[in-house]
Structure 1
Amino acid sequence: MRPDGRTRLLGKVKGLPVRLHGISKRYGRRSPWILRGVDLAVGPGELVRIEGANGSGKSTLLRLIAGVEPPSAGRVEVTGRRAYVPERFPPALPFDAQTYLHHLGRIHGLSAAEAARRAGHWLDRFGIADRAGTPLSELSKGTCQKVAVAQALLAEADVLLLDEAWTGLDQAARATLDEAAAERAARGGRVLFVDHDPNRLAGLTTFAHAVRGGELRLVETAAEEGPLVRVEVEGELPEWLPGTPVRKPLEDGATLLEVRARHSDALLRLLLTGRRPAHIRSVRQEEAQ
């Protein structure tokens, strides 16, 4: 059950672009099950944390969603493009950083010019533009990790999968990845991540699930508790908004949005930076009754 009492069972959710139907996984017929009968549904704008002990199956779950591995049983449904940052990035590839990112951009369907532009953007944003022409095999582990993250972010994918992607990054790069993950979700992307830091993206995560004994269990959070933020906004609004705010039409044609405070940053970001930016008249926070 969701914290607000609404079910997250697969059969009760419609139109979600990421769905796992009874997924099970093991490596070999006599091997133990790593995952068993996992159901999951992830909707637009959700920022989902996957947690669990080492070896519990977190990375396996992300690989199944990424399409890197097939399930032993069950079905994975993903709508849209996927981008994946694996737990371990193979640096021994015959590319320099710029060429590798450009190549991945082309694989994601970008034009040559757009792939080059985005590659340059992320190299610069991660502070490694001066390493653009350096072969991957000659880069430090930290710089390689920045390239690994950049290849996923430049895709602007519908589904972003981050498997301990912050590991090996410096503090500035971790902050950049935090911001990028939140931006992707705020724009309607579906972000699933694994990280050792229990405070990673705290306050922005919409759901957390734990892998235990091969099962995936919803972690009860304060997602639907805490103060309400009320936003008065003018303009046409997208069908989906972060936090699924309550919408109340006002007499002058504007809309009052009510959302829990933990979702308010993502909501305001989308309203201000979406394809059709809205005019925000006021923002106020009130304690929940």
Structure 2
Amino acid sequence: MLRGVGLELPPGALVRIEGGNGGGKSTLLRILAGIDTPTEGRVAGRPRRTAYVPERFPAALPLTAGSYLTHLGRVHGLTGAEAARRAAAGLERFGAAAYARTPLSELSKGTSQKVAVAQALLAGPGLLVLDEAWTGLDAPARAELDRAVTERTADGGTVVFVDHDPARLAGRPDAHHRIEAGALVPVAAAVPAGAARPASVRVHAVGPPGATPPLGLAATPAPGGGVLLTVDADRSDAVLRELLTARPPWHIRAVEELR
């Protein structure tokens, strides 16, 4: 049981939660996402659009993957055409486009999880809650989810996550907490001995036809298309936000720390 938990989630923050099995991690995440209600205390300021991805997606619904995502898009206020477009794009992004017409009940665990991740990103949530969401995903989809987390925070969204892999998004969280005996305890960020903080970041971005990089950035052509932008680490969030909020937005293929 959780006791006396106080947690502030500012816009653009990436927050990691850890703790032993049965310690209350999932309970906390479900409360943050608005799925469960605390018996005491309250949650204030939750963004209007909040998305949640559990470790295991409940796929026993009488819908195909594509129709499920399209339906959720319309629930979020998208037009039918835009909902269908984003549904197809989400499945394509996570390597599940071939299963658009497959009933959810017939999907494998891994493909179901790809649908779960796609639904969470449909409408650009202000708060994205990931409860071991990488579990069951193949390597390309895990990397794509890492990129999606970077995009969300760069665009001002808040991401809270739990993952069993201590290396998941290592070095990126703005806050790190551990649940111990029902209490939430801050974990001090540790830099391994001899490790240097990144001096700069290389961004592989693909813009709309004819677009030039914003903020006066110098760009070099990237293998396979797009451009490579190298920026100071302390400017990387601003650059990513500028690219992702451009109209039309740029597509971020990769973000690499340079030491």
TM range (shorter): 0.7 to 0.9
* Contact 1:158–1:190 (Cα < 8 Å) also in 2: yes
Deviation at 1:226, TM superposition (A): 4.3
Kindly provide the amino acid, as one letter, of the partner of residue 181 in structure 1.
Answer: V
Superposed CA deviations along residues 88-117 of structure 1, whole A, max 9, x for unmatched, are 211111110001101111122211111111
Give the corresponding residue for 2:98: 130
Superposed CA deviations along residues 151-200 of structure 1, whole A, max 9, x for unmatched, are 10112110001111000000000001000011001100000011001111
Deviation at 1:271, TM superposition (A): 3.3
2:34 aligned to 67, 77, 80, which one? 67
Is 1:266 matched with 2:237? yes
1:208 aligned to 176, 179, 199, which one? 176
* Contact 2:52–2:120 (Cα < 8 Å) also in 1: yes
Is 1:57 matched with 2:24? yes
Deviation at 1:69, TM superposition (A): 0.7
Superposed CA deviations along residues 57-105 of structure 1, whole A, max 9, x for unmatched, are 1110010011111101001011331011122211111110001101111
Kindly provide the amino acid, as one letter, of the partner of residue 245 in structure 2.
Answer: G
RMSD: 2.5
Relative to structure 1, the CA distance from residue 45 to residue 121 in structure 2 (aligned partners, 3 Å threshold; closer, same or farther) is same
* Contact 1:95–1:136 (Cα < 8 Å) also in 2: yes
Unaligned ranges ≥5, structure 1 = 1-33, 236-257, 278-284
Give the corresponding residue for 1:173: 141
Number of equivalent positions: 219
Is 1:157 matched with 2:128? no
* Contact 1:182–1:204 (Cα < 8 Å) also in 2: no
In 1, the alpha carbon distance for the partners of 2:200 and 2:68 equals: 43
Deviation at 1:229, TM superposition (A): 6.1
SS class of match (1:73):
coil
Task: Report the TM-score, using the length of structure 1 for normalisation.
Answer: 0.70
Relative to structure 1, the CA distance from residue 229 to residue 131 in structure 2 (aligned partners, 3 Å threshold; closer, same or farther) is closer
Kindly provide the amino acid, as one letter, of the partner of residue 103 in structure 1.
Answer: H
Unaligned ranges ≥5, structure 2 = 202-213, 217-230, 250-256
Relative to structure 1, the CA distance from residue 227 to residue 147 in structure 2 (aligned partners, 3 Å threshold; closer, same or farther) is closer
* Contact 2:178–2:185 (Cα < 8 Å) also in 1: yes
* Contact 2:13–2:157 (Cα < 8 Å) also in 1: yes
Relative to structure 1, the CA distance from residue 182 to residue 90 in structure 2 (aligned partners, 3 Å threshold; closer, same or farther) is same
* Contact 1:204–1:266 (Cα < 8 Å) also in 2: no
In 1, the alpha carbon distance for the partners of 2:200 and 2:114 equals: 35
Deviation at 1:227, TM superposition (A): 6.3
Task: Report the TM-score, using the length of structure 2 for normalisation.
Answer: 0.78
Kindly provide the amino acid, as one letter, of the partner of residue 239 in structure 2.
Answer: L
* Contact 2:151–2:244 (Cα < 8 Å) also in 1: no
Bigger Cα Rg: 1
Q: 1:116-265 maps to which residues of 2 (within 5 A)?
A: 116-222=84-190, 226=197, 261=233, 264-265=235-236
Kindly provide the amino acid, as one letter, of the partner of residue 113 in structure 1.
Answer: A
Deviation at 1:49, TM superposition (A): 0.6
Kindly provide the amino acid, as one letter, of the partner of residue 241 in structure 2.
Answer: L
Higher relative contact order (CA 8 A, sep 6+): 2
SS class of match (1:202):
coil
In 1, the alpha carbon distance for the partners of 2:132 and 2:35 equals: 16
